[in-house]
Chains A and B, each alone.
Chain A
Protein backbone atom coordinates (compact mmCIF):
# COMPACT_ATOMS: atom_id res chain seq x y z
CA UNK A 1 0.00 0.00 0.00
CA UNK A 2 1.52 3.31 -1.01
CA UNK A 3 -1.00 5.63 0.65
CA UNK A 4 1.73 7.43 2.41
CA UNK A 5 2.09 11.09 3.35
CA UNK A 6 5.07 10.61 5.68
CA UNK A 7 6.86 13.80 6.63
CA UNK A 8 4.25 16.15 5.19
CA UNK A 9 2.06 18.69 6.95
CA UNK A 10 -1.61 19.29 6.28
CA UNK A 11 -4.02 22.15 7.02
CA UNK A 12 -7.65 21.06 7.33
CA UNK A 13 -10.37 23.67 7.62
CA UNK A 14 -13.29 22.60 9.78
CA UNK A 15 -11.12 19.82 11.15
CA UNK A 16 -12.49 19.42 14.65
CA UNK A 17 -15.57 17.35 13.92
CA UNK A 18 -17.28 15.15 11.35
CA UNK A 19 -15.65 14.66 7.99
CA UNK A 20 -12.82 17.11 8.75
CA UNK A 21 -11.89 15.22 11.89
CA UNK A 22 -11.80 11.90 10.03
CA UNK A 23 -9.59 13.47 7.35
CA UNK A 24 -7.24 14.89 10.00
CA UNK A 25 -6.92 11.47 11.61
CA UNK A 26 -6.62 9.68 8.25
CA UNK A 27 -3.81 11.95 7.11
CA UNK A 28 -2.07 11.64 10.48
CA UNK A 29 -2.25 7.84 10.23
CA UNK A 30 -0.69 8.06 6.78
CA UNK A 31 2.20 10.07 8.18
CA UNK A 32 1.35 13.78 8.19
CA UNK A 33 1.49 16.40 10.91
CA UNK A 34 -1.79 18.23 11.20
CA UNK A 35 -3.15 21.75 11.58
CA UNK A 36 -6.89 22.01 12.03
CA UNK A 37 -9.09 25.05 11.99
CA UNK A 38 -12.30 25.30 14.01
CA UNK A 39 -14.80 28.07 14.58
CA UNK A 40 -16.67 27.41 17.82
CA UNK A 41 -16.21 23.98 19.33
CA UNK A 42 -12.90 24.32 21.16
CA UNK A 43 -13.47 21.15 23.15
CA UNK A 44 -13.96 19.04 20.01
CA UNK A 45 -10.84 20.59 18.49
CA UNK A 46 -8.80 19.75 21.59
CA UNK A 47 -10.09 16.20 21.50
CA UNK A 48 -9.12 15.80 17.83
CA UNK A 49 -5.66 17.22 18.60
CA UNK A 50 -5.26 14.72 21.45
CA UNK A 51 -6.28 11.80 19.23
CA UNK A 52 -3.70 12.79 16.62
CA UNK A 53 -0.98 13.30 19.22
CA UNK A 54 -1.73 9.81 20.47
CA UNK A 55 -0.79 8.61 16.97
CA UNK A 56 2.64 10.19 17.46
CA UNK A 57 2.05 13.14 15.15
CA UNK A 58 2.11 16.87 15.78
CA UNK A 59 -1.35 18.43 15.88
CA UNK A 60 -2.38 22.05 16.35
CA UNK A 61 -5.79 23.71 16.39
CA UNK A 62 -6.49 27.29 15.35
CA UNK A 63 -9.72 29.15 16.02
CA UNK A 64 -11.03 31.37 13.26
CA UNK A 65 -13.64 31.99 10.60
CA UNK A 66 -12.29 30.98 7.18
CA UNK A 67 -14.58 33.52 5.52
CA UNK A 68 -12.53 36.25 7.24
CA UNK A 69 -9.26 36.92 5.44
CA UNK A 70 -7.53 38.32 8.52
CA UNK A 71 -8.51 35.26 10.55
CA UNK A 72 -7.04 33.11 7.79
CA UNK A 73 -3.82 35.11 7.76
CA UNK A 74 -3.45 34.69 11.50
CA UNK A 75 -4.21 30.95 11.41
CA UNK A 76 -1.96 30.24 8.44
CA UNK A 77 0.93 32.21 9.90
CA UNK A 78 0.66 30.31 13.16
CA UNK A 79 0.42 26.98 11.36
CA UNK A 80 3.46 27.68 9.18
CA UNK A 81 5.30 28.76 12.29
CA UNK A 82 4.32 25.63 14.20
CA UNK A 83 4.60 23.02 11.46
CA UNK A 84 6.87 24.51 8.80
CA UNK A 85 6.01 23.91 5.15
CA UNK A 86 2.40 22.88 4.56
CA UNK A 87 2.03 20.78 1.42
CA UNK A 88 -1.56 19.56 1.89
CA UNK A 89 -4.59 21.85 2.13
CA UNK A 90 -8.04 20.39 2.71
CA UNK A 91 -10.87 22.88 2.21
CA UNK A 92 -13.49 21.12 4.26
CA UNK A 93 -15.17 23.78 6.43
CA UNK A 94 -18.76 24.27 5.45
CA UNK A 95 -22.29 25.00 6.52
CA UNK A 96 -25.60 23.75 5.15
CA UNK A 97 -28.24 26.06 3.82
CA UNK A 98 -31.71 26.43 5.31
CA UNK A 99 -33.78 24.63 2.72
CA UNK A 100 -35.67 27.61 1.34
CA UNK A 101 -36.95 28.22 -2.16
CA UNK A 102 -34.83 30.68 -4.11
CA UNK A 103 -37.67 33.19 -3.97
CA UNK A 104 -37.66 32.97 -0.17
CA UNK A 105 -33.92 32.94 0.35
CA UNK A 106 -32.51 35.87 2.25
CA UNK A 107 -29.57 37.44 0.40
CA UNK A 108 -27.70 37.45 3.71
CA UNK A 109 -27.83 33.66 3.81
CA UNK A 110 -26.30 33.40 0.35
CA UNK A 111 -23.48 35.72 1.35
CA UNK A 112 -22.84 33.78 4.52
CA UNK A 113 -22.76 30.32 2.90
CA UNK A 114 -20.62 31.52 -0.02
CA UNK A 115 -18.35 33.32 2.42
CA UNK A 116 -17.38 30.08 4.12
CA UNK A 117 -17.26 27.67 1.16
CA UNK A 118 -15.99 29.94 -1.57
CA UNK A 119 -14.17 32.92 -0.08
CA UNK A 120 -12.86 30.67 2.69
CA UNK A 121 -11.46 28.26 0.11
CA UNK A 122 -9.93 31.09 -1.88
CA UNK A 123 -8.47 32.71 1.24
CA UNK A 124 -6.68 29.52 2.22
CA UNK A 125 -5.50 28.76 -1.34
CA UNK A 126 -4.25 32.34 -1.64
CA UNK A 127 -2.31 32.07 1.60
CA UNK A 128 -1.02 28.50 1.39
CA UNK A 129 -0.49 27.62 -2.27
CA UNK A 130 2.46 30.00 -2.92
CA UNK A 131 4.61 28.37 -0.23
CA UNK A 132 3.39 24.95 -1.45
CA UNK A 133 5.12 25.55 -4.80
CA UNK A 134 8.46 24.98 -3.09
CA UNK A 135 7.38 21.61 -1.73
CA UNK A 136 8.35 18.39 -3.47
CA UNK A 137 4.65 17.89 -4.03
CA UNK A 138 1.54 19.80 -3.13
CA UNK A 139 -2.09 18.73 -2.79
CA UNK A 140 -5.24 20.79 -2.47
CA UNK A 141 -8.47 18.88 -1.92
CA UNK A 142 -11.91 20.42 -1.90
CA UNK A 143 -14.61 18.66 0.06
CA UNK A 144 -17.56 19.44 -2.13
CA UNK A 145 -20.84 17.56 -2.35
CA UNK A 146 -23.02 15.60 -4.71
CA UNK A 147 -25.16 18.76 -4.60
CA UNK A 148 -23.09 20.03 -7.55
CA UNK A 149 -24.58 17.25 -9.64
CA UNK A 150 -28.11 17.10 -8.24
CA UNK A 151 -28.56 20.88 -7.83
CA UNK A 152 -31.81 20.15 -6.04
CA UNK A 153 -34.45 22.68 -5.22
CA UNK A 154 -34.41 24.35 -1.80
CA UNK A 155 -30.64 24.31 -1.72
CA UNK A 156 -29.60 27.36 -3.69
CA UNK A 157 -27.05 28.88 -1.30
CA UNK A 158 -25.29 25.54 -0.79
CA UNK A 159 -25.53 24.57 -4.48
CA UNK A 160 -24.10 27.95 -5.51
CA UNK A 161 -21.31 27.74 -2.95
CA UNK A 162 -20.20 24.22 -3.82
CA UNK A 163 -20.35 24.91 -7.56
CA UNK A 164 -18.13 27.98 -7.16
CA UNK A 165 -15.75 26.07 -4.88
CA UNK A 166 -15.39 23.39 -7.56
CA UNK A 167 -14.71 26.08 -10.16
CA UNK A 168 -11.77 27.24 -8.01
CA UNK A 169 -10.50 23.65 -7.90
CA UNK A 170 -10.68 22.98 -11.64
CA UNK A 171 -9.00 26.30 -12.39
CA UNK A 172 -6.33 25.96 -9.72
CA UNK A 173 -5.50 22.46 -10.99
CA UNK A 174 -4.54 23.90 -14.36
CA UNK A 175 -2.67 26.88 -12.93
CA UNK A 176 -0.52 25.00 -10.42
CA UNK A 177 0.25 21.78 -12.28
CA UNK A 178 3.65 23.16 -13.30
CA UNK A 179 4.46 23.55 -9.59
CA UNK A 180 3.75 19.90 -8.92
CA UNK A 181 0.53 20.73 -7.09
CA UNK A 182 -2.46 18.46 -7.54
CA UNK A 183 -5.97 19.77 -7.02
CA UNK A 184 -8.86 17.35 -6.68
CA UNK A 185 -12.40 17.25 -5.35
CA UNK A 186 -14.09 14.68 -3.12
CA UNK A 187 -17.88 14.89 -3.22
CA UNK A 188 -19.71 13.18 -0.37
CA UNK A 189 -23.39 12.43 -0.36
CA UNK A 190 -25.17 11.92 2.94
CA UNK A 191 -22.59 11.21 5.67
CA UNK A 192 -23.17 10.41 9.32
CA UNK A 193 -22.06 13.73 10.81
CA UNK A 194 -23.80 16.35 12.93
CA UNK A 195 -24.63 18.15 9.68
CA UNK A 196 -25.94 14.97 8.04
CA UNK A 197 -28.05 14.14 11.09
CA UNK A 198 -29.59 17.62 11.13
CA UNK A 199 -30.27 17.38 7.40
CA UNK A 200 -32.24 14.12 7.54
CA UNK A 201 -34.12 15.29 10.59
CA UNK A 202 -35.14 18.53 8.90
CA UNK A 203 -35.92 17.12 5.46
CA UNK A 204 -37.24 13.66 6.25
CA UNK A 205 -38.09 13.71 9.95
CA UNK A 206 -35.54 10.98 10.66
CA UNK A 207 -34.54 10.99 14.34
CA UNK A 208 -31.76 8.38 14.11
CA UNK A 209 -29.73 8.53 10.89
CA UNK A 210 -28.90 4.81 11.23
CA UNK A 211 -32.55 4.03 10.51
CA UNK A 212 -31.50 4.83 6.93
CA UNK A 213 -28.86 2.08 6.78
CA UNK A 214 -31.22 -0.43 5.25
CA UNK A 215 -32.24 1.73 2.31
CA UNK A 216 -28.73 3.09 1.74
CA UNK A 217 -26.14 1.97 -0.83
CA UNK A 218 -24.33 -1.11 0.47
CA UNK A 219 -26.82 -1.13 3.36
CA UNK A 220 -25.10 1.57 5.36
CA UNK A 221 -24.97 5.32 5.70
CA UNK A 222 -21.63 6.72 4.56
CA UNK A 223 -19.13 7.30 7.34
CA UNK A 224 -16.64 10.19 7.64
CA UNK A 225 -13.83 7.64 7.26
CA UNK A 226 -15.05 6.78 3.74
CA UNK A 227 -14.39 10.39 2.76
CA UNK A 228 -11.05 10.43 4.55
CA UNK A 229 -9.90 7.33 2.67
CA UNK A 230 -10.53 9.04 -0.67
CA UNK A 231 -8.68 12.17 0.48
CA UNK A 232 -5.66 10.18 1.62
CA UNK A 233 -5.67 8.33 -1.72
CA UNK A 234 -5.56 11.62 -3.64
CA UNK A 235 -2.62 12.83 -1.51
CA UNK A 236 -0.71 9.57 -1.99
CA UNK A 237 1.82 8.29 -4.49
CA UNK A 238 -0.94 6.12 -5.99
CA UNK A 239 -2.60 9.30 -7.26
CA UNK A 240 0.57 11.11 -8.31
CA UNK A 241 -0.72 11.50 -11.88
CA UNK A 242 -4.26 12.43 -10.89
CA UNK A 243 -5.33 16.08 -10.84
CA UNK A 244 -8.39 18.12 -11.76
CA UNK A 245 -10.65 15.21 -10.84
CA UNK A 246 -13.83 14.91 -8.82
CA UNK A 247 -14.65 11.70 -7.02
CA UNK A 248 -18.10 11.24 -5.54
CA UNK A 249 -18.08 9.04 -2.46
CA UNK A 250 -21.75 8.31 -2.10
CA UNK A 251 -22.23 4.67 -2.98
CA UNK A 252 -23.01 5.64 -6.57
CA UNK A 253 -24.89 8.69 -7.78
CA UNK A 254 -28.29 7.05 -7.85
Chain B
Protein backbone atom coordinates (compact mmCIF):
# COMPACT_ATOMS: atom_id res chain seq x y z
CA UNK B 1 0.00 0.00 0.00
CA UNK B 2 1.56 3.24 -1.11
CA UNK B 3 0.42 6.82 -0.99
CA UNK B 4 0.25 6.97 -4.78
CA UNK B 5 -1.45 3.65 -5.49
CA UNK B 6 -3.35 3.79 -8.76
CA UNK B 7 -1.72 7.02 -9.93
CA UNK B 8 -0.09 7.26 -13.37
CA UNK B 9 2.91 9.49 -13.82
CA UNK B 10 4.96 10.91 -16.66
CA UNK B 11 8.44 12.05 -15.66
CA UNK B 12 10.38 13.87 -18.35
CA UNK B 13 14.11 13.34 -18.27
CA UNK B 14 13.44 10.35 -16.04
CA UNK B 15 16.38 8.14 -16.91
CA UNK B 16 19.11 9.80 -14.91
CA UNK B 17 19.84 12.14 -12.02
CA UNK B 18 16.94 13.87 -10.33
CA UNK B 19 14.36 12.44 -12.73
CA UNK B 20 15.49 8.90 -12.02
CA UNK B 21 15.11 9.41 -8.25
CA UNK B 22 11.64 10.86 -8.81
CA UNK B 23 10.63 7.86 -10.93
CA UNK B 24 11.93 5.46 -8.29
CA UNK B 25 10.12 7.25 -5.49
CA UNK B 26 6.77 7.65 -7.29
CA UNK B 27 6.84 3.95 -8.19
CA UNK B 28 7.76 2.90 -4.67
CA UNK B 29 4.69 4.83 -3.47
CA UNK B 30 2.53 2.90 -5.90
CA UNK B 31 2.44 4.85 -9.17
CA UNK B 32 2.87 3.46 -12.68
CA UNK B 33 5.39 5.54 -14.58
CA UNK B 34 6.28 6.64 -18.09
CA UNK B 35 9.97 7.43 -18.18
CA UNK B 36 10.92 9.87 -20.87
CA UNK B 37 14.56 9.97 -21.95
CA UNK B 38 16.45 11.66 -24.73
CA UNK B 39 19.82 9.99 -25.32
CA UNK B 40 20.57 7.32 -22.75
CA UNK B 41 18.33 4.35 -23.53
CA UNK B 42 20.34 1.98 -21.35
CA UNK B 43 19.83 4.16 -18.28
CA UNK B 44 16.10 4.39 -19.06
CA UNK B 45 15.81 0.62 -19.36
CA UNK B 46 17.63 0.16 -16.05
CA UNK B 47 15.25 2.33 -14.07
CA UNK B 48 12.26 0.86 -15.91
CA UNK B 49 13.26 -2.62 -14.86
CA UNK B 50 13.70 -1.37 -11.28
CA UNK B 51 10.14 -0.03 -11.38
CA UNK B 52 8.79 -3.30 -12.75
CA UNK B 53 10.50 -5.18 -9.91
CA UNK B 54 8.38 -3.05 -7.56
CA UNK B 55 5.32 -4.51 -9.31
CA UNK B 56 4.51 -1.30 -11.12
CA UNK B 57 4.17 -0.58 -14.83
CA UNK B 58 7.02 1.24 -16.50
CA UNK B 59 7.27 2.44 -20.10
CA UNK B 60 10.23 4.20 -21.60
CA UNK B 61 9.69 6.75 -24.36
CA UNK B 62 12.46 8.50 -26.25
CA UNK B 63 11.73 12.13 -27.05
CA UNK B 64 13.48 15.48 -27.13
CA UNK B 65 10.89 17.52 -25.27
CA UNK B 66 12.38 20.78 -26.50
CA UNK B 67 11.00 19.88 -29.94
CA UNK B 68 7.29 20.64 -30.04
CA UNK B 69 6.27 17.71 -32.22
CA UNK B 70 8.28 15.29 -30.09
CA UNK B 71 6.77 16.67 -26.88
CA UNK B 72 3.32 16.21 -28.41
CA UNK B 73 4.15 12.64 -29.44
CA UNK B 74 5.50 11.90 -25.95
CA UNK B 75 2.25 13.12 -24.39
CA UNK B 76 0.06 11.09 -26.73
CA UNK B 77 2.12 7.93 -26.36
CA UNK B 78 2.26 8.31 -22.57
CA UNK B 79 -1.52 8.55 -22.29
CA UNK B 80 -1.87 5.51 -24.55
CA UNK B 81 0.73 3.53 -22.60
CA UNK B 82 -0.92 3.91 -19.19
CA UNK B 83 -4.50 4.77 -20.20
CA UNK B 84 -4.21 8.21 -18.61
CA UNK B 85 -1.68 10.42 -16.84
CA UNK B 86 -2.57 12.15 -13.56
CA UNK B 87 0.93 13.15 -12.44
CA UNK B 88 3.15 15.17 -14.76
CA UNK B 89 6.67 15.98 -13.59
CA UNK B 90 8.39 18.47 -15.89
CA UNK B 91 11.95 17.60 -15.01
CA UNK B 92 13.85 17.36 -18.29
CA UNK B 93 16.33 20.16 -18.70
CA UNK B 94 19.70 21.25 -19.95
CA UNK B 95 22.17 23.20 -17.90
CA UNK B 96 23.59 26.63 -18.62
CA UNK B 97 26.91 24.82 -19.03
CA UNK B 98 25.56 23.16 -22.17
CA UNK B 99 25.59 26.58 -23.81
CA UNK B 100 28.83 27.73 -22.19
CA UNK B 101 27.36 29.78 -19.31
CA UNK B 102 27.39 33.05 -21.26
CA UNK B 103 26.71 36.49 -19.86
CA UNK B 104 23.30 37.79 -20.88
CA UNK B 105 24.93 40.33 -23.19
CA UNK B 106 27.01 37.72 -25.01
CA UNK B 107 24.54 34.80 -25.14
CA UNK B 108 23.67 33.84 -28.68
CA UNK B 109 19.98 33.97 -29.59
CA UNK B 110 20.16 30.33 -30.67
CA UNK B 111 21.57 29.18 -27.35
CA UNK B 112 18.97 31.18 -25.46
CA UNK B 113 16.26 29.65 -27.61
CA UNK B 114 17.52 26.16 -26.77
CA UNK B 115 17.22 26.84 -23.04
CA UNK B 116 13.78 28.39 -23.38
CA UNK B 117 12.61 25.49 -25.52
CA UNK B 118 13.88 22.82 -23.13
CA UNK B 119 12.37 24.34 -20.00
CA UNK B 120 9.57 26.72 -20.87
CA UNK B 121 8.16 25.57 -24.23
CA UNK B 122 8.48 21.90 -23.29
CA UNK B 123 6.62 22.46 -20.04
CA UNK B 124 3.89 24.34 -21.83
CA UNK B 125 3.61 21.74 -24.60
CA UNK B 126 3.30 18.90 -22.11
CA UNK B 127 0.80 20.75 -19.93
CA UNK B 128 -1.25 21.63 -23.02
CA UNK B 129 -1.34 17.99 -24.09
CA UNK B 130 -1.61 16.25 -20.69
CA UNK B 131 -3.71 18.53 -18.49
CA UNK B 132 -7.03 18.30 -20.40
CA UNK B 133 -7.33 14.54 -19.82
CA UNK B 134 -6.11 15.06 -16.22
CA UNK B 135 -9.35 16.96 -15.52
CA UNK B 136 -11.18 13.63 -15.71
CA UNK B 137 -9.12 12.14 -12.86
CA UNK B 138 -10.07 12.38 -9.19
CA UNK B 139 -6.94 14.42 -8.71
CA UNK B 140 -4.18 15.74 -10.92
CA UNK B 141 -0.69 16.98 -10.10
CA UNK B 142 1.79 18.94 -12.15
CA UNK B 143 5.22 19.46 -10.59
CA UNK B 144 7.85 21.65 -12.21
CA UNK B 145 11.46 20.96 -11.36
CA UNK B 146 12.87 24.45 -11.47
CA UNK B 147 16.11 25.69 -9.92
CA UNK B 148 17.40 28.13 -7.33
CA UNK B 149 18.77 29.94 -10.39
CA UNK B 150 15.31 31.48 -10.73
CA UNK B 151 15.78 33.03 -7.27
CA UNK B 152 19.51 33.80 -7.19
CA UNK B 153 19.88 35.08 -10.78
CA UNK B 154 23.67 34.71 -10.63
CA UNK B 155 26.04 35.93 -13.33
CA UNK B 156 26.53 33.61 -16.34
CA UNK B 157 23.27 31.90 -15.43
CA UNK B 158 20.94 34.53 -16.81
CA UNK B 159 19.61 32.70 -19.84
CA UNK B 160 19.07 29.51 -17.82
CA UNK B 161 17.40 31.50 -15.05
CA UNK B 162 15.15 33.20 -17.59
CA UNK B 163 14.05 29.81 -18.89
CA UNK B 164 13.35 28.53 -15.38
CA UNK B 165 11.54 31.75 -14.44
CA UNK B 166 9.30 31.33 -17.50
CA UNK B 167 8.68 27.72 -16.50
CA UNK B 168 7.68 28.85 -13.00
CA UNK B 169 5.32 31.40 -14.54
CA UNK B 170 3.60 28.55 -16.39
CA UNK B 171 3.20 26.77 -13.04
CA UNK B 172 1.75 29.73 -11.14
CA UNK B 173 -0.69 30.52 -13.93
CA UNK B 174 -1.72 26.90 -14.43
CA UNK B 175 -2.32 26.49 -10.69
CA UNK B 176 -4.94 29.21 -10.82
CA UNK B 177 -6.53 28.02 -14.04
CA UNK B 178 -6.91 24.38 -13.05
CA UNK B 179 -7.71 24.45 -9.34
CA UNK B 180 -11.39 24.08 -10.16
CA UNK B 181 -10.52 20.77 -11.81
CA UNK B 182 -8.76 19.49 -8.68
CA UNK B 183 -5.37 19.79 -10.31
CA UNK B 184 -2.48 20.85 -8.06
CA UNK B 185 0.47 22.67 -9.58
CA UNK B 186 3.63 23.18 -7.57
CA UNK B 187 7.33 23.83 -8.04
CA UNK B 188 10.35 22.12 -6.52
CA UNK B 189 13.52 24.18 -6.87
CA UNK B 190 16.75 22.26 -6.30
CA UNK B 191 20.03 23.82 -5.36
CA UNK B 192 23.28 22.03 -6.08
CA UNK B 193 22.40 18.35 -6.37
CA UNK B 194 24.82 15.50 -6.96
CA UNK B 195 24.05 14.79 -10.64
CA UNK B 196 26.04 14.57 -13.87
CA UNK B 197 24.65 17.96 -14.92
CA UNK B 198 25.76 19.68 -11.71
CA UNK B 199 29.18 18.06 -11.88
CA UNK B 200 29.65 19.41 -15.41
CA UNK B 201 28.70 22.84 -14.15
CA UNK B 202 31.05 23.00 -11.16
CA UNK B 203 33.92 21.64 -13.25
CA UNK B 204 33.21 24.25 -15.91
CA UNK B 205 33.17 26.95 -13.25
CA UNK B 206 36.50 25.70 -11.93
CA UNK B 207 35.05 25.11 -8.46
CA UNK B 208 36.30 21.51 -8.38
CA UNK B 209 39.09 19.55 -10.02
CA UNK B 210 37.81 16.00 -10.38
CA UNK B 211 34.54 15.50 -8.57
CA UNK B 212 31.54 17.46 -7.37
CA UNK B 213 32.04 15.77 -4.01
CA UNK B 214 34.94 18.10 -3.32
CA UNK B 215 32.19 20.61 -2.42
CA UNK B 216 30.40 18.34 0.06
CA UNK B 217 32.19 19.43 3.24
CA UNK B 218 31.34 23.10 2.68
CA UNK B 219 27.76 22.42 1.63
CA UNK B 220 24.69 22.83 3.87
CA UNK B 221 24.50 20.06 6.47
CA UNK B 222 27.96 18.92 5.36
CA UNK B 223 26.73 17.22 2.23
CA UNK B 224 25.55 17.86 -1.29
CA UNK B 225 21.88 17.61 -2.06
CA UNK B 226 20.91 14.20 -3.41
CA UNK B 227 18.38 13.44 -6.13
CA UNK B 228 16.38 11.65 -3.41
CA UNK B 229 15.99 14.95 -1.55
CA UNK B 230 14.11 16.32 -4.56
CA UNK B 231 12.07 13.15 -4.94
CA UNK B 232 11.00 13.45 -1.28
CA UNK B 233 9.40 16.83 -1.91
CA UNK B 234 7.81 15.73 -5.19
CA UNK B 235 6.26 12.66 -3.52
CA UNK B 236 4.93 14.81 -0.68
CA UNK B 237 3.36 17.35 -3.04
CA UNK B 238 1.59 14.62 -5.05
CA UNK B 239 0.25 12.89 -1.93
CA UNK B 240 -2.95 13.23 0.08
CA UNK B 241 -0.81 14.95 2.71
CA UNK B 242 -0.55 17.94 0.39
CA UNK B 243 -4.14 17.98 -0.84
CA UNK B 244 -4.60 21.63 0.21
CA UNK B 245 -1.32 22.79 -1.32
CA UNK B 246 -1.11 24.31 -4.76
CA UNK B 247 0.67 27.27 -6.40
CA UNK B 248 3.66 26.81 -4.06
CA UNK B 249 7.40 26.47 -4.47
CA UNK B 250 9.64 24.41 -2.20
CA UNK B 251 13.34 25.14 -2.53
CA UNK B 252 15.45 22.11 -1.71
CA UNK B 253 18.90 23.55 -1.34
CA UNK B 254 19.75 23.38 2.35
CA UNK B 255 19.24 27.13 2.45
Q: A residues bordering B, Cβ < 8 Å?
A: 1-3, 173-174, 177, 180, 217-218, 222-223, 226, 229-230, 232-233, 236-245, 247-254
Report how far A242 CA is from B176 CA in the complex, Å: 25
Looking at the complex, which one of B176, B241, B246, B254 makes contact with A241 (CB distance below 8 Å)?
B254
Looking at the complex, which one of B221, B242, B247 makes contact with A230 (CB distance below 8 Å)?
B242
Given contacts A1-B29, A217-B179, contact A242 B243 (CB under 8 A): no
Set of chain B residues within 8 Å of A245, measured between Cβ atoms? 250-251
Report how far A165 CA is from B129 CA in the complex, Å: 43
Chain A-chain B contacts (Cβ-Cβ < 8 Å), number: 90
| Docked-complex contact A229 and B232, CB < 8 angstroms | no
Set of chain A residues within 8 Å of B245, measured between Cβ atoms? 226, 230, 247-249, 251
| Docked-complex contact A237 and B232, CB < 8 angstroms | yes
Q: Closest chain A residue to B253 by CB distance?
A: A241
Question: Which 8 pairs, one residue from A and one from B, show the smallest C-beta to C-beta distance?
Answer: A238-B232, A252-B247, A229-B241, A241-B229, A226-B244, A252-B246, A241-B225, A233-B236
| Docked-complex contact B255 and A247, CB < 8 angstroms | no
| Docked-complex contact B29 and A177, CB < 8 angstroms | no
Q: Closest chain B residue to A254 by CB distance?
A: B176
Q: Could you jot down 5 A-B contacts, CB within 8 Å?
A: A1-B2, A3-B236, A226-B243, A233-B241, A238-B232
Looking at the complex, which one of A1, A174, A232, A241 makes contact with B252 (CB distance below 8 Å)?
A241
Residue with the greatest number of chain B CB neighbours at <10 A, chosen from A180, A230, A242, A251: A242
Q: Closest chain B residue to A242 by CB distance?
A: B252
Residues in B216-255 with C-beta less than 8 Å from chain A: 220-221, 225-226, 229, 232-233, 235-236, 241-248, 250-255
Report how far A156 CA is from B247 CA in the complex, Å: 26
Report how far A240 CA is from B229 CA in the complex, Å: 7
| Docked-complex contact A177 and B248, CB < 8 angstroms | no
| Docked-complex contact A218 and B254, CB < 8 angstroms | no
Besides the contacts A249-B244, A251-B245, A252-B176, what 5 more A-B pairs have beta carbons closer than 8 Å? A1-B29, A174-B255, A233-B242, A243-B220, A248-B245
Set of chain A residues within 8 Å of B63, measured between Cβ atoms? none
Question: CB of B175 within 8 A of chain A?
Answer: yes
Given contacts A239-B232, A241-B229, contact A229 B246 (CB under 8 A): no
Set of chain A residues within 8 Å of B247, measured between Cβ atoms? 248, 252-254
B160-188 interface code vs A (CB 8 A; 1 in, 0 out) = 00000000000000011001001000000
Question: CB of B45 within 8 A of chain A?
Answer: no
Report how far A229 CA is from B35 CA in the complex, Å: 29
Question: CB of B70 within 8 A of chain A?
Answer: no
Shortest CB-to-CB span from A218 to chain B, Å, is: 6
| Docked-complex contact B233 and A251, CB < 8 angstroms | no
Q: Closest chain B residue to A137 by CB distance?
A: B221
Q: Closest chain B residue to A228 by CB distance?
A: B241
| Docked-complex contact A243 and B255, CB < 8 angstroms | yes
| Docked-complex contact A251 and B221, CB < 8 angstroms | no
Shortest CB-to-CB span from B193 to chain A, Å, is: 9
Report how far A243 CA is from B229 CA in the complex, Å: 12
Looking at the complex, which one of B226, B244, B254 makes contact with A217 (CB distance below 8 Å)?
B244
Set of chain A residues within 8 Å of B67, measured between Cβ atoms? none
Question: CB of B3 within 8 A of chain A?
Answer: yes
Q: Closest chain A residue to B191 by CB distance?
A: A241
Report how far A177 CA is from B182 CA in the complex, Å: 37
| Docked-complex contact A2 and B248, CB < 8 angstroms | no
Report how far A173 CA is from B255 CA in the complex, Å: 8
Set of chain B residues within 8 Å of A222, measured between Cβ atoms? 244
Q: Closest chain A residue to B232 by CB distance?
A: A238
Given contacts A2-B232, A248-B248, A249-B244, contact A218 B220 (CB under 8 A): no
Shortest CB-to-CB span from A254 to chain B, Å, is: 5
Set of chain A residues within 8 Å of B252, measured between Cβ atoms? 241-242
Report how far A253 CA is from B185 CA in the complex, Å: 12
Q: Closest chain B residue to A3 by CB distance?
A: B241
Report how far A223 CA is from B240 CA in the complex, Å: 13
B1-21 interface code vs A (CB 8 A; 1 in, 0 out) = 011000000000000000000
